[in-house]
Structure 1
């Protein structure tokens, strides 16, 4: 049986100079995997999202809580030399640094990649930005909403005759955070071979364009501009929402066998599957204008629950359209342990989503509640100085030059 105290990133130290969502989402994942994450926050206000509310709980932002569990908060004034030196010394002890400052800002504080690499050649330095650290827009700030628009994601989302539509969450921020996590994990493996850290340049715009996936490959191969299909699929039919007698279901026929099972075993209309216009998916795509109204009329004849049961029995993928409260009350959500109740010194208990990562031998850590601003400054600094004292020759480091109450 696996030792529950062993996590994939035990012993890895992460210096988190990021804020808002993409960077914190990345470092939260690293924390879930067992890394010790030092979240550096502006001394007076902290991470911007501490002020993003409502919703809130006891005057604290639930937005901040979504991406900062299991971290240590260190309050630092980077405009002060002592604050800059503290972060530089933490970088000497860190394995990974994640930042999303404007280009050149950290260099002015003596905390750029080249500056810190001279102090710690093993440091993996991950820069997250809107448009990358090179190129004509490297100096611009990037925000998810604008990048959804600029990347083409918004153009392919929404009803065909409606306006372009953004995703319901900040999807480019989240995917960029995931990409940054992947890059960091790969860089840790590479460092194990070379002994050297490196600079990672992860951009929201790059991540969003890559997220176009099959839409991008279709355009690049044919030159055609894709349209919007609302809740339908551009290249798979039927793959969309259908109204039922009492609600809505999401039908996802991924192949011809599933479509035949739908017609024969669920709808009791085998002649539809035998119709030459609908036998193959390619044919159904070209003839969706006649097929979809036919299916839509049939689905209004029974309740959602009856259709879902019949579809599952026939092996046809489908799901009920749930509200967020319904998701967190659902048996499958609860049985998969997707909600944690975490002890919290202010609220008693906090309910939060769990990490989606599952390991048979090295599980993710049991989460701790998101930190209050600066709550770990003294502890982190004390441990950092103790470690530095053990590594430095006697007299080689002024351990009294930094004091928590001056940062």
Structure 2
């Protein structure tokens, strides 16, 4: 166990500086909520199982040193405290820390906290202002609440998987854990709402974020479209049906470029850039509806134009005509892009194993009290002694006893 010297940690400057969060749970949905709150300046104390910790420590792409680069992101700005929450002593430690905190974030299966003697009623009895943020697959109530909930299942039930991909293939998934991160974003939003309401009532409350509902929440108008007009959105690959031209188009140098020119005035500017201004007044393409009806035909015409140009040349030409355009970026493109550089969208932070690690900055930006990345994901148990002494009130003898008994 390594004692972390509290005074050496960079000071948080974000809008949540002064709030303390106890993060329990693992993997993505709960920890990403904790990451957001930490990015915004909150002090985040992450409780992890001794000896193993959050599985995110080994998920994703790892280097030979055994360190996960994903953990360096999702664990950033957090203090790692090892404590066995399955033991009465570990539960007592957690309760002491929670009594001194503003927010608890957890993503265990519903009922777990209750079995550990940490229901909201029990926790709020000693900390009435506590906000308990609970992230799960199906929420804390309803017939499915006790099921194990994973992001992939929430994406399927929330309607996202059905509309991702191409009709020629089975429903696809995004290349990221979007269901978990959406639930975490809604959880963070609900947490901030509860903290704000607390300034009026002085009381905390439970924030209940379900993965399937978070996915459903961003699914636009698919439900009323089905109920009212019997319209079922289908998988459509790189396009939205009847929205044209808005697609990914090939270029002479083998790159792909996205052009979004479906609005009437923008399409007129695209037609000018293509050297075919007559397209804008051609009755086949002159209105949004007409272009949608002839989407494939119009996409072929645009592709015949783009394939004749190098991607950089094409991008410059379309920008001159104020046509929304963008390359399909990979990390190498992001690192070289002047917009990313100017806004510091990617920053570097020092890591004890990797050295300087680039990662996404904190978003959104605040003009006066912006968030910050103060350190990457910490070593397992790095802050146990510091936190238990500073906040839990435990002395050295207690720390030694807990360690010998495997509690921490």
Structure-2-length-normalised TM-score: 0.91
Check 1:115–1:57 CA distance in 2 against 1; reply closer, same or farther (3 A cut).
farther
Number of residues of Structure 1 aligned to a counterpart in Structure 2: 393
Query: How much has 1:208 moved relative to structure 2?
Result: 0.8
1:78-97 residue CA offsets vs partner (Å, 9 max, x unmatched): 12111000001111111000
Match of 2:258 among 240, 250, 266: 250
Distance 1:75 1:205, change over 3 A: same
1:353 and 1:404 mapped to 2: Cα distance? 37
Deviation per CA, 1:128-165, whole angstroms, max 9, x where unpaired? 00011111110011112222222221111112322211
Structure 2 unaligned runs (5+)?
1-10
In 1: Cα distance, 2:402 partner to 2:16 partner: 28
Deviation at 1:198, TM superposition (A): 0.1
Asked if the contact 2:167/2:235 (under 8 Å) is kept, the reply is: yes
CA contact (8 A) 2:362 2:372 kept: no
Give yes or no for contact 2:361–2:372 (8 Å, CA) kept in 1: no
Distance 1:140 1:158 in 2: 27
Q: How does 1:33-72 map to 2 (within 5 A)?
A: 33-56=40-63, 58-72=65-79
Map of 1:202 onto structure 2: 209
1:238 lines up with 2:238 in the alignment: no
Deviation at 1:202, TM superposition (A): 0.2
The alpha carbon displacement at 1:243 in A equals 1.0
Q: Offset of 1:400 from its aligned partner? A: 6.6
User: Are 1:378 and 1:404, in contact at CA under 8 Å, matched by a contact in 2?
Assistant: no
SS for the counterpart of 2:121 is helix
Residue matched to 1:340: 347
Query: Aligned pair in 2 of structure 1 residues 333, 217: CA closer, same or farther (>3 Å)?
Result: farther
* Residues 14-163 of structure 1 aligned to structure 2 (within 5 Å): 14-56=21-63, 58-163=65-170
What is the aligned counterpart of 1:261 among 269, 278, 281?
Answer: 269
Cα distance in 1 for residues equivalent to 2:86 and 2:181 = 29
Q: In 2, Cα distance between the equivalents of 1:33 and 1:217? A: 36
Structure 1 residues 229 and 192, CA gap change in structure 2 (3 angstroms): same
Instruction: Measure the CA separation in 1 of the matches of 2:148 and 2:19.
Output: 30
What SS is found at the alignment partner of 2:391? helix
C-alpha separation between the residues in 2 aligned to 1:244 and 1:6? 45
**Superposition pairs of residues 148-187 of structure 1, within 5 angstroms:** 148-187=155-194
Provide the secondary structure at the position in 2 that maps to 1:295: helix
Partner of 2:316: 309
Distance across 2 between alignment mates of 1:365 and 1:326: 23
Alpha carbons of structure 1 residues 212 and 5: separation in structure 2 relative to 1, 3 Å: closer
Mind listing any 5+ residue stretches in structure 1 that lack a counterpart? 390-397
Higher mean alpha-carbon deviation, 372-381 vs 300-309, is at: 300-309
Native 8 Å contact 1:381 1:404 kept in 2:
no
CA contact 2:12–2:374 (8 Å) conserved in 1: no
| CA-CA distance at 1:217 after TM superposition | 4.5
Q: Which residue of 2 aligns with 1:378?
A: 385
CA drift at 1:6: 3.8
Query: How far off is 1:5 after superposition?
Result: 6.1
What's the counterpart of residue 233 of structure 2? 226
CA contact 2:76–2:373 (8 Å) conserved in 1: no
